[in-house]
Amino acid sequence: MMRAALILTLLAAPAFAQESVVADVADVAALTKAIEDAGCTVTSENGDAVLAASGLSEEETFAVITTLYADGLVGLEADGTMSLSTEACE
């Protein structure tokens, strides 16, 4: 269930990045850490674990991904993965 929500969120992020959705700083930090701990890439295989590790709801996750995408910190790949670009991921 969570995997499907993550995939839909990843696919929708570019479309909604233009909306003024701003995530809570603590939520951004929680999801960023969870993605970094997962090797800086979210896939269909690790998506559930990343979401669980972040402790965020689907709505909070959507807001964070939208914020990260708008800030240029995540990239959506053709294979459906999402890569994080932070200092820890370089």
pLDDT of residue 43: 92
**What pTM did the predictor assign?**
0.79
By DSSP bridging, strand 82-84 and strand 74-76 are antiparallel
pLDDT of residue 28: 96
- With vertex at residue 40, the alpha carbon angle to CA 31 and CA 68, rounded to the nearest 5 degrees, is 50
Give per-residue pLDDT as tens, 26-77: 999 999 999 999 999 999 899 999 999 999 998 899 999 999 999 999 998 8
Q: Tell whether the torsion through CA atoms of 13, 62, 88 and 71 is positive or negative.
A: positive
DSSP 40: S
- Domains, in order of start, for the chain: 2-89 (1.10.10)
3-state secondary structure of 12: helix
pLDDT of residue 68: 93
